[in-house]
Amino acid sequence: MEYPRLETLRRVRRMVVKLGSSVLSGSKPRLDFSMLRRLSGDVAALKTQQRQVILVSSGAILAGREQLALGIRPMTTQLKQAAAAVGQSRLMRAWDEAFAREKITAAQVLLTREDLRQRRRYLNARNTLFTLLRLGVVPVINENDTVSTDEIKFGDNDMLSALVAGLCDADLLVLLTDRDGLYSADPRDNPGARLIARVSEGEALVLRGRPGPAGSGGMASKFKAAQLAAGTGISTVIANGFNEGILQRVLAGEEVGTLFIARASPLDKRRQWLAFAAHPRGQIHVDEGAREALAGKSKSLLPSGIKSVSKSFEAGDVVSLVSGGVEFARGLANYSSKELDKIKGLKTSQIEAALGYKPADEVVHRDNMAVLTR
Ligand code: GLU
């Protein structure tokens, strides 16, 4: 069936637009104010069409590097964090000024992964974003680089933007970059590389297995982000931020960039949190039969399908469910790793004899499980 691109895009009411440093810097390694003004104009035009826009803007480190006259030398993590602290206020001032020309108020929102992992903070962030949107404000989100360590980092703003899209129930995620979209091969050394206009759920799995399209020139993280968004029911467009009026063209349904089509049966909010925001404490390795029952037939995990557990976790922790070395689902464990060591491989009727008690038949209940790949 032909995908109704125009219809889907015309219906977009709320969108997250991610701007990478490459788009905000133009040809020189510093913030390009004219680009920020142009993008603010585009956002203003979208707002007149009653569309709500949330920006995820990189550029803090870029702006800090310029202010501190650090040149283009490689930076340690600490120097990057310091540069981000200097640059974030400059970045925000630039956005404030650019939006003021359009009579739009902008708001700074800085997040770490930890903020989305903890359910209470996740809900708080969500409520604040909704309030800002109700007030007609454009939230400008960035990672809180100053406090981000590897443990709590999003990795990059592509992932952050996909999580934010899920967080605020966006209808569309747009990743603006310095490329026209996803290519069948790296266009820099393959003259025959062609732009992929559309990627459906099935096609994404095939493409992910190939090194070319998903693994070159910063596209790997965009691909991952688009897949994450698709899992939460949100379509993604990867497009070239240097093209004039690109956001309007995307929303007018023009065949620009690469459109990743959202999963037809997306995960619900709770499962989205489990799948993408929560932090698994350990792994439960299951046999192929259990994987099929869980992923294919939406069954709960019982002790009989468990081969082994790794890392230590408590009942109530989020765990990864792994088969053949591949994580295919996440869920809330009803048993600790210690208990599972004693009951793995057993029938549910044998749990009580082995432990002396039985909190539940299921090790992970289907209601507390998010399947990542079928
Ligand atoms: N948070 C970083 C910055 O603002 C950018 C991270 C990224 O673009 O992936 O400079």
Mark whether 112 and 233 lie in a shared domain.
yes
The finding on whether 148 has its CB within 6 A of some atom of ligand 1 is no
Domain C-terminal end among 214, 246, 271: 271
Q: State in Å: Cα 21 to ligand 1 middle.
A: 7
Domain shared by 144 and 286, yes or no: no
Strand ordering across the sheet containing 198-199: 106-111, 138-143, 52-57, 14-19, 172-177, 235-240, 258-260, 198-199
Q: Can you give the CATH number for the domain in which 166 is found?
A: 3.40.1160.10
Q: Does 247 lie in the same domain as 166?
A: yes
Check pocket membership of 64 for ligand 1, CB cut-off 6 A: no
Q: With 60 as the cut, is the pLDDT of residue 29 above it?
A: yes
What mean pLDDT do residues 39-56 have?
Answer: 96
- With beta carbons less than 8 A apart as the criterion, state whether 104 and 51 touch: no
Same domain, 75 and 101: yes
Rounded Cα–Cα distance for residues 55 and 33 (Å): 16
- What is residue 349's DSSP assignment? G
The residue count of the chain comes to: 374
Same-domain status, 118 and 252? yes
* pLDDT confidence band for 3 (50 / 70 / 90): low
The domain spanning residue 333 has which CATH number? Answer: 2.30.130.10
pLDDT at residue 18 greater than cutoff 90? yes
Does one domain contain both 104 and 14?
yes
Question: What atom of ligand 1 comes closest to residue 63's alpha carbon?
Answer: 10
Are 143 and 195 contained in the same domain? yes
* Domain co-membership, 219 together with 239: yes
Does residue 4 carry a pLDDT above 70? no
**Residue 314 lies in domain:** 280-371
Q: How far is the CA of 153 from the centre of ligand 1 (A)?
A: 11
202 and 285 together in one domain: no
The predicted model gives 276-280 an average pLDDT of 79
Query: What is the per-residue pLDDT across 249-264, written as a single tens digit (0 to 9) for each?
Result: 999 989 899 999 988 8
Q: Does 84 contact ligand 1 (Cβ within 6 A)?
A: yes
**Residue whose C-alpha is closest to residue 354's, from 306, 313, 319:** 306
0.85 exceeded by pTM: no
Q: What is the pLDDT of residues 283-328, one digit of tens each?
A: 999 999 999 999 889 999 999 999 999 999 999 999 999 998 888 8
Q: Which of 215, 244, 271 is the last residue of a domain?
A: 271
Residue ending a domain, among 241, 271, 301, is: 271
